[in-house]
């Protein structure tokens, strides 16, 4: 159906495009992965557990949140609920991307294991010009997944030799990282209200009720505040 | 190489929940159009969760952490992510030694 022209997509060309698009993202993720592994080990996880979490969950935000609130034994339901809240955004990404990918349903079900903020954003950009093929997606996905799993494993192994994380301020690294991530959501009025309410409620609940309840209560309060602070019929 | 059973179950639960969120969009494509307040609430989920996780460390641990968090927030709007982390870590180490 496609005429032979330089713009037609071939698997080889799509793989090359995927690798080119994901390369800078993968490079930037290496130190974050190292940091994740090192702090996870300092919180009491073994390197093997770090590897498994990165390989199977493969979601930075949820993993950071899990480690930041990590206690032993692991509170399974609390971790699952926090993961659900943080990753709920994937539903919107998948819904938006699905009409633009050129893959069968089964292929998409497999491919979406690798759905991340980064892969989604790059695919949406590519979809402006051409459909997102399996070759493009898998090239990006495999690089990012292997990169994340490997860098957090190396971080975990190096971290066991690092010693007390507080001495070098590494215990504060996630707090700083999260502040950086939150800043990425901008300075709109709704975002500022969300952040203020979530921070206030979480800090108070942590003081008077204790962990891990501050995560769910702070998050839900922030979400409710955003709902109330937003104009009733905003178009976006 | 030790693998705690409870930790393994927690990891598997996190993985299962995450995978469900990843494929759920496949089944609601074309039907999930959020507008107005519902969209604002949905968009607010990531920052709300992130802030709730760090609020105790940032606000109620001590002055060093609180001031370092404020410095980090200022840096966050001007620097890339790794620069922001570096500023925050250096700030907390210095402040813990000074205060």
- Per-residue model confidence (pLDDT) at position B64: 95
More confident residue, A110 or A169: A110
Are A92 and B34 inside 8 Å of each other by CB? Answer: yes
- The answer to whether position A58 is within a domain reads yes
More confident residue, A7 or B67: B67
- Chosen domain end from A116, A139, A171: A171
- Chosen domain end from A171, A204, A227: A171
Q: Which residue of A has its CA nearest to B81?
A: A180
Give the C-alpha separation, A147 to A160, whole Å: 20
Report chain B residues whose CB lies below 8 A from the CB of A181: 46, 50, 81
Give the C-alpha separation, B37 to A113, whole Å: 30
Helices H, strands E: what count in chain A?
11, 2
A160 and A210 co-located in one domain: no
The proportion of chain B whose per-residue pLDDT surpasses 70, expressed as a percent, equals: 95
Residue A3 has pLDDT above 80, yes or no: no
More confident residue, A89 or B11: B11
Q: Note whether B8 contacts A: Cβ–Cβ < 8 A.
A: yes
Q: Note whether A117 contacts B: Cβ–Cβ < 8 A.
A: no
Confidence of residue A1 (pLDDT cuts 50, 70, 90): very low
Q: Which residue has the tokens 């969209």?
A: B39
Among partner residues B34, B59, B88, which is closest to A199 by beta-carbon distance? B59
Residue B59 has pLDDT above 70, yes or no: yes
More confident residue, A8 or A4: A8
A76 and A190 co-located in one domain: no
A209, two tokens: 């009720």
- Chosen domain end from A171, A193, A218: A171
- The answer to whether position A154 is within a domain reads yes
**Strand A132-133, strand A101-102: pairing:** parallel
A31 and A110 co-located in one domain: yes
CB contacts < 8 A (A, B):
317
The proportion of chain A whose per-residue pLDDT surpasses 90, expressed as a percent, equals: 45
- The answer to whether position A177 is within a domain reads no
More confident residue, A112 or A70: A112
B76, two tokens: 């966050």
The proportion of chain A whose per-residue pLDDT surpasses 70, expressed as a percent, equals: 92
Residue A234 has pLDDT above 80, yes or no: no
The proportion of chain B whose per-residue pLDDT surpasses 90, expressed as a percent, equals: 56
Report chain A residues whose CB lies below 8 A from the CB of B11: 49, 52-53, 56-57
Q: Note whether A233 contacts B: Cβ–Cβ < 8 A.
A: yes
Q: Which residue of A has its CA nearest to B93?
A: A169
Are B50 and A53 inside 8 Å of each other by CB? Answer: no
| ipTM value greater than 0.90 | no
- Per-residue model confidence (pLDDT) at position A164: 65
- The answer to whether position A32 is within a domain reads yes
* Structural domains in chain A (count): 2
- The answer to whether position A6 is within a domain reads no
DSSP codes, A132-197: EEHHHHHHHHHHHHHHHHHHHHHHHHHHHHH--TTTTTGGGHHHHHHHHHHHTT---HHHHHHHHH
- The answer to whether position A179 is within a domain reads no
Average pLDDT rounded to a whole number, residues B64-88: 93
- The answer to whether position A34 is within a domain reads yes
A26, two tokens: 């993968």
- For the stretch A57-67, pLDDT in tens is 999 889 988 98
A111 and A221 co-located in one domain: no
Report chain B residues whose CB lies below 8 A from the CB of A232: 36-37
Report chain B residues whose CB lies below 8 A from the CB of A229: 40
Mutate which: A157, A178, A192, vs B, most B CBs within 10 A: A178
A81 and A143 co-located in one domain: yes
A64 and A139 co-located in one domain: yes
Q: Note whether A210 contacts B: Cβ–Cβ < 8 A.
A: no
Report chain B residues whose CB lies below 8 A from the CB of A203: 55-56, 59-60
More confident residue, B58 or A93: B58
Q: Note whether B70 contacts A: Cβ–Cβ < 8 A.
A: no
- For the stretch A164-221, pLDDT in tens is 666 777 778 878 888 988 898 889 999 999 999 999 999 999 999 887 778 889 989 9
Nearest C-alpha of chain A: how many angstroms from B98? 14
Range of the domain at A209: 185-236
A124 and A233 co-located in one domain: no
- For the stretch B25-48, pLDDT in tens is 888 866 667 788 988 888 888 788
A105 and A201 co-located in one domain: no
Residue B7 has pLDDT above 90, yes or no: yes
- The answer to whether position A140 is within a domain reads yes
H helices of B1-99, in order, are 5-28, 36-43, 45-60, 63-76, 81-98
């Amino acid at each position: 159906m496609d005429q032979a022209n330089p713009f037609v997509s071939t698997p080889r060309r799509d793989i090359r495009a995927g690798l080119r698009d994901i390369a800078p993202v993968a490079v930037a993720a290496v130190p974050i992965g190292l940091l994740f592994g090192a702090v996870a080990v300092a919180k009491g996880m073994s390197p093997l557990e770090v590897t498994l979490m990165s390989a199977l969950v493969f979601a930075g935000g949820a993993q950071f949140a899990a480690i930041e609130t990590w206690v032993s034994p692991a509170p399974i339901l609390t971790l699952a609920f926090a993961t659900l809240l943080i990753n709920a955004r994937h539903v919107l990404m998948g819904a938006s991307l699905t009409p633009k990918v050129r893959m069968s349903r089964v292929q998409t079900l497999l491919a979406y294991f690798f759905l991340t903020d980064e892969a989604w954003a790059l695919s949406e950009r590519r979809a402006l010009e051409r459909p997102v093929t399996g070759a493009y997606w898998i090239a990006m996905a495999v690089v990012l997944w292997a990169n994340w799993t490997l860098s957090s494993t190396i971080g975990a192994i190096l971290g066991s030799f690092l010693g007390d994380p507080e001495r070098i301020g590494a215990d504060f690294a996630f707090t700083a990282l999260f502040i950086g991530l939150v800043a990425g959501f901008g300075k709109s009025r709704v975002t500022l209200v969300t952040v203020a309410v979530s921070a206030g409620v979480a800090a108070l609940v942590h003081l008077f009720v204790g962990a891990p309840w501050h995560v769910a209560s702070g998050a839900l309060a922030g979400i409710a505040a955003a709902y109330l602070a937003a104009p009733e019929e905003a178009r976006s | 190489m030790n693998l705690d059973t409870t930790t393994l179950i927690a990891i598997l639960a996190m993985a299962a929940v995450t995978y469900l969120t990843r494929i759920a969009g496949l089944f609601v494509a074309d039907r999930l159009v959020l507008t107005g307040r519902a969209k604002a609430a949905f968009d607010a989920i990531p920052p709300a969760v992130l802030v709730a996780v760090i609020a105790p460390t940032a606000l109620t641990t001590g002055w060093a952490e609180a001031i370092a968090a404020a410095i980090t927030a200022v840096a966050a709007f001007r620097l890339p992510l790794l620069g922001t982390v570096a500023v925050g870590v250096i700030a907390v180490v210095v402040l813990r030694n000074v205060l």
